[in-house]
Chain A
Amino acid sequence: MIDVRLHLKYSAFALEVDLHLPGRGVTALYGHSGSGKTTCLRCIAGLERAEDGFVQVNDEVWQDSRSGLFVPPHKRALGYVFQEASLFPHLSVRANLEFGLKRIPRAQRRVDMAQATELLGIGHLLERHPQHLSGGERQRIGIARALLTSPRLLLMDEPLAALDSKRKSEILPYLERLHDELDIPVLYVSHAQDEVARLADHIVLLRDGKALASGPIGETLARLDLPLALGDDAGVVISGTVSAYDAHYQLLSLQLPGSALHMRVAHAPLALGKALRIKVQARDVSLNVQAEEHSSILNRLPVTVIQEIAADNNAHVLVRLDAGGTPLLARITRFSRDQMQLHPGQTLWAQIKAVAVLA
């Protein structure tokens, strides 16, 4: 478990959070700029000092202001990836990587040079100088450098925000490998919902220095009481399990979690039982009173209406649905809602026009 209680006040901003986060997997601190997510991360690292704070990572307490304990950042077993890679310009790539590594006693090293360079695909860059690298390469080295300190917690502060979308998509697969292959809990600060949906297992939603919600990603993104749902890109993330592959039509079947229902996506074949994350945008889900058999739409699921709220404009409403245990969101016009006489408990068919495969 990661326990973080912080109370910090600047002239125009106050951070007040009390978080209990899973001690494994990727937890996203998600919010707009100014929501306090970076300050939160810096306090956990000890780069900033909350006057009233308690930080515990698994069995290590890093700050407890009640007993006056404050472990300085260089004595905390953490890795920190900054928004700009911040490589040391006076050192080669190899010396940058070794900077942290050689300060870790041999017996405590759990990630070695070969593993880190292989994981991030930077073996061919070791003798180069940071000035001669692309932004994406620099950031991969920044991540490897942090990993080489064998951290008990990896803190990442918008590691992709300074990169263009091409570089981003170049790094994301490496971050996924990190998630799959290393057993290091990650706190990932981001304001990009697509990154969070793709990488995070758990999400903390921050606004104005307060945590509005904290929970598993699938459930939390589908909650209608959070401002997450209001935007045009409202949607849910579903972690399905590969259950079949239709080689003729090249369609992959995914079983939805906690449900007997399946969805199909166009995708290359994958091993049965493998997990695949997909995102279904609320605007891509339409509702039908009857099952529409003669339609080009591939995915039709029987759903129950749970709740309805206003969307970001007056023409639309957002509807939270239950597809055999998996939450779904639909964004429909107010006109259609009245035509269908939509009400909680109603059984309908959801037609899903598009599914984005995340990972």
Chain B
Amino acid sequence: MPLSSADFSAIWLTIKLASLTTVILLVIGTPIALWLSRTRSWWRGPIGAVVALPLVLPPTVIGFYLLLTMGPHGYFGQFTQWLGLGTLTFSFAGLVIGSVIYSMPFVVQPLQNAFSAIGTRPLEVAATLRANPWDTFFSVILPLARPGFITASILGFAHTVGEFGVVLMIGGNIPDKTRVVSVQIYDHVEAMEYAQAHWLAGVMVVFAFLVLLALYSSRNTKMGWS
């Protein structure tokens, strides 16, 4: 067996982290993307820029600030301690929070593009056909933005799987809690276990290729607005 049980537990942890992050991002990213695509408010620029920050910042910078805020002296850390939860640094929950922030633009931007592409006309049509705003969201926006949701889910999941710097900064390297695949590979290399590193790295390459293949193939099946 080329993969050790530690490798499998790292893979399982990675899948768990990426799935949870994607679900959370779809839930909070949808209203943010909807707002960004519709608003004419002055806040559109600043909020959009903040959401996009993780695209350009080195992961260590995000990790550093998260470490400070979630640590025992940070605002968020003091809040979680007040709630009796302790601090979230070096825990799975902390990793989830970090991943949500880190992968945010990869979910929000495809959704925002999809909502902008729909435009306001279908929503007006739905309103004149007696659909209230919630009804319109589920019966018109959701189905028309489906390609956007697929892209957002794939990118959010894949980007979380590929995360390394943020994990190292706020999660450390605790087996079964914070040691994800990318960190496990790093460990193998540090320990000169090149064969192990090869196998795990190979799995990641195949995974990344399949994700991108799925993404580019789904582009051909978009429906146009007529």
Residues on B with C-beta less than 8 A from A89 are 144, 223-226
Residues on B with C-beta less than 8 A from A80 are 124-125, 128
A72 is an interface residue with CB less than 8 A from chain B: yes
Q: Give the shortest distance, in Å, between B27 (CB) and chain A (any CB).
A: 23
Residues on B with C-beta less than 8 A from A82 are 121, 124-125
Q: Of A46, A84, A103, A145, which is within 8 A of B131 by CB?
A: A103
Residues on A with C-beta less than 8 A from B133 are 74
- The answer to whether A74 touches B140 (Cβ under 8 A) is no
Q: A73-B127, A89-B226, A103-B131 are in contact. List 10 more A-B contacts (CB 8 A).
A: A74-B127, A74-B131, A74-B132, A87-B226, A89-B223, A99-B126, A99-B139, A131-B224, A131-B226, A145-B129
With A89-B223, A90-B223: A72-B140 Cβ-Cβ less than 8 Å: no
Q: Give the shortest distance, in Å, between B108 (CB) and chain A (any CB).
A: 23
* Distance, CA A149 to CA B129, complexed state (A): 7
Residues on B with C-beta less than 8 A from A99 are 126, 129, 131, 139
Q: Give the shortest distance, in Å, between B124 (CB) and chain A (any CB).
A: 5
Q: How many pairs of residues, A versus B, come closer than 8 Å at their CB atoms?
A: 67
Q: Tell me which residues from 27 to 74 in chain A have a Cβ below 8 Å from any Cβ of chain B.
A: 45-47, 72-74
Name the interface size band of chain A.
20 to 34
Q: Of A47, A87, A90, A138, which is within 8 A of B127 by CB?
A: A47
With A131-B224, A138-B226: A86-B132 Cβ-Cβ less than 8 Å: no
Residues on A with C-beta less than 8 A from B144 are 88-90
A123 is an interface residue with CB less than 8 A from chain B: no
- The answer to whether A86 touches B129 (Cβ under 8 A) is no
Residues on B with C-beta less than 8 A from A104 are 130
- The answer to whether B140 touches A88 (Cβ under 8 A) is yes
A185 is an interface residue with CB less than 8 A from chain B: no
* Distance, CA A80 to CA B140, complexed state (A): 17
Q: Give the shortest distance, in Å, between A41 (CB) and chain B (any CB).
A: 11
* Distance, CA A47 to CA B131, complexed state (A): 13
* Distance, CA A105 to CA B213, complexed state (A): 47
* Distance, CA A87 to CA B224, complexed state (A): 11
Closest to A47 in B: B124
B202 is an interface residue with CB less than 8 A from chain A: no
* Distance, CA A89 to CA B121, complexed state (A): 12
Q: Of A79, A130, A149, which is within 8 A of B226 by CB?
A: A130
Residues on A with C-beta less than 8 A from B175 are none
Q: Give the shortest distance, in Å, between B140 (CB) and chain A (any CB).
A: 7
Residues on A with C-beta less than 8 A from B124 are 47, 73, 80, 82
B143 is an interface residue with CB less than 8 A from chain A: yes
